[in-house]
Amino acid sequence: MASLSCALLPSPITTTTRRNFATSVRRSGASGSLKCSVVRVTAALEKERSYKVTLLPGDGIGPEIMRVAVDVMQAVGRREGITFDFTEKLVGGAALDALGVPLPDDTLASCLESNAVLLAAIGGYKWDSNPPHLKPETGLLGLRAGLGVFANLRPAVVLPQLVDASTLKREVAEGVDIMVVRELIGGIYFGKPRGFDVNETGDRFAFNTMVYSTPEIDRIARVAFETARKRQGRLCSVDKANVLQVSQLWRERVTAIGKEEYPDVELSHMYVDNAAMQLVRNPKQFDTIVTGNLFGDILSDISSMLSGSIGMLPSSSMSESGPGLFEPIHGSAPDIAGTDKANPLAQVLSAAMMLRYGLGEVKAAEIIESAVSSTLDKGYRTGDLMSAGKTLVGCTQMGEILLDALEASSTVTLSH
């Protein structure tokens, strides 16, 4: 499958340790006499490939798809000598039911102590009429803010096997490969003041504040430029600078950062209404898109539909130095929860993104991605992807087929 490039790659401890180790061996001029100790140290470093991962299955289809992802990670871990120390915690509606809050303190603490966090989804009809502080979504926003994950990267790739699942014509959808970089912990979703009030004529009104500071814009712009640099070198910044002051500052800063630090990246600007239109008219014009929280929420959902199903797309959210948060872009799909109809692939690909970008385990990520690819090649589809001539499977069976594909690929590798 198409490989996903990303900028804000944290330095996973093991990779950094290995790199430092290799450099120090080179500097010391290590020769044959050092070979035994090098082997011993390398073996010790290999043993370090153990990661603390907090699992947040959440609500709805969350637990079903998380189970598949965990089985897949354990299988790839056994194969690659990686061990996972999984801790499962409550978030969203599940946490509200059990503990009365959508983000318990010990959930956030566990996440902060982990090397990475794998989330499924939160929310459901049951909690829809709760007051804001008791909504599952408040737990999700709190989690993102608590982890400081300001950069959300959402790939929208039309896989060749699924081109006919796109609602767009084949010639428009084929070959689409976009990365949407969305600012995640600022803008109107977090801006203050916000609330409800009553005006002087006695009418109720509600208000939110869309606000971005220069440092907030600069850091997301840098992530986006780095991302574009590792892809096709084209970045489109999306705003509403013809109307909003906050967008005017956004455009000014993105332009300045581009000129000063990334002259090699081709930068363009587009108003958000036009961007929404262009994404369905001619999506192949885009390589990397950077935008704020609200516009990114909408545009990344449009981009995801280009690929055929929301059930296929993973995302990663990265902070400046702490653990990353990896999750499918879809919600908890309460309409199909408990029916074994969920597509677990976005969750599995989120685990692959976690391995690649959060833990630096690129090979393990590739193994998972190619198992997904070969499962689709063989024609297996969950309901959301189903088309004539394909084999319909449920969530659990899709997981079993993925494990078989992993097993088969390990046999192929071993026979080389």
**Residue 317 three-state SS:** strand
The owner of tokens 């239109």 is: 277
Tell the smallest beta-carbon distance from residue 112 to ligand NAD (Å): 19
| Phi, psi dihedrals of residue 59, rounded to the nearest 5° | -120, 175
* Active-site pick, 177, 240, 262, 380: 240
Residue 382's contacts (CB-CB under 8 Å, 6 or more residues apart) are 311, 341, 342, 343, 344, 345, 392, 393, 394, 395, 398
Amino acid at 3: S
Q: Which range of residues in 34-42, 43-51, 234-242, 332-340 is near ligand NAD by CB under 6 A?
A: 332-340
DSSP state of 322: S
Q: Which is nearer to ligand NAD, 250 or 357 (CB)?
A: 357
Q: Which is nearer to ligand NAD, 296 or 331 (CB)?
A: 331
Tell the smallest beta-carbon distance from residue 111 to ligand NAD (Å): 15
Structure tokens at 367: 């193994």
Tell the smallest beta-carbon distance from residue 334 to ligand NAD (Å): 6
Q: Which is nearer to ligand NAD, 258 or 311 (CB)?
A: 311
125 is catalytic: no
| In contact, 323 and 147? CB cutoff 8 Å | yes
Would you give the binding string for ligand NAD spanning residues 372-411, x where CB under 6 A is met? ------------x---------------------------
**Residue 388 three-state SS:** coil
Q: 107 to 126, contacts with ligand NAD by CB under 6 A?
A: 121-124
324 binds ligand NAD (CB under 6 A): no
The residues with which 153 forms a beta bridge, in sequence order, are 181, 316
The owner of tokens 């504040």 is: 209
Q: Which range of residues in 80-88, 169-177, 264-272, 324-332 is near ligand NAD by CB under 6 A?
A: 324-332
Sign, CA dihedral 347-353-358-364, equals positive
Q: Which range of residues in 45-53, 224-232, 331-339, 356-364 is near ligand NAD by CB under 6 A?
A: 331-339
Residue 174, burial from CB neighbour count under 10 angstroms (0-12, 13-18, 19+):
middle
343 binds ligand NAD (CB under 6 A): yes
| In contact, 45 and 14? CB cutoff 8 Å | yes
333 binds ligand NAD (CB under 6 A): yes
Q: 9 to 68, contacts with ligand NAD by CB under 6 A?
A: 61
Residue of 140, 143, 235, 299 that binds ligand NAD (CB under 6 A): 140
| In contact, 225 and 5? CB cutoff 8 Å | no
240 is catalytic: yes
Tell the smallest beta-carbon distance from residue 344 to ligand NAD (Å): 7
Length of the chain: 416
Summarize as ranges the residues that interact with ligand NAD (CB under 6 A). 61, 121-124, 137, 140, 310-311, 327, 330-336, 342-343, 346, 384
